Amino acid sequence: MSRAAIRYAKAILDNASVKGNAEVVNNDMKLILETIQGNKELKTFINSPVVKQEMKRSALSQIFSAVNDETKSLFQLLASNARFELLDDIAIQYHNLYNDSIGIEKAYVTTAVAITPELESKVIAKASEFTSKKITIENLVDPSIIGGFILRVADKQYNASVSSRLAELKREFIIN
């Protein structure tokens, strides 16, 4: 992430918070991010140095015609500063800053298969030991961990995977 994307996101959040639109803008940012990440042509269009900034602004304003005026003003700002390539990073940073401002921490849980509701409640309980914030979970599936889970909350990690336990046992056998 670029520092510029963080600065844009902070400015938008501050402005939206003053106007009471922070949650609406957060939903807009999620929509923008999902759309850009889900459409390779749109991402190429936004990042193209050949396409004029005004054309990008106009296209994005039409594509995202339902978004809040606060979000639309971001398009104008990015056009005037020729920084549209930051749009998806700004959306990510805005979402992170917004969650932080309302006391939500995202926990990343890597499992061998999709997480079950039972395991999700256990993971939330474990993640609550790392932070006092409300926890939301994003599940990443990686069959190579064999079983168990790896939990990351902020800069802390808890590894309860079968693959790490097997690696531990292998090291012990080699030493002995």
Mean pLDDT per 10-residue section of the chain, whose length is 176 residues: 91 95 96 95 95 95 93 94 95 95 92 89 84 90 91 87 90 86
Determine the pLDDT at residue 1. 61
Q: How is domain 3-100 classified at the architecture level of CATH? A: Orthogonal Bundle (1.10)
Secondary-structure breakdown of the chain: helix, strand, coil percentages, each rounded to the nearest 5: 65, 15, 20
Q: Torsions phi, psi of 105, nearest 5?
A: -115, 135
pTM: 0.78
Determine the pLDDT at residue 122. 84
| CATH fold of the domain at 104-175 | Glutaredoxin (3.40.30)
Residue tagged 């800053």 (tokens): 97
Q: Torsions phi, psi of 51, nearest 5?
A: -75, 130
Determine the pLDDT at residue 176. 73
Which of 108, 107, 110, 124 is CA-nearest to residue 162?
A: 110
22-38 and 69-81 helices cross at what angle (nearest 10)?
60
Residues of the chain with CATH 3.40.30: 104-175
Residues of the chain with CATH 1.10.520.20: 3-100
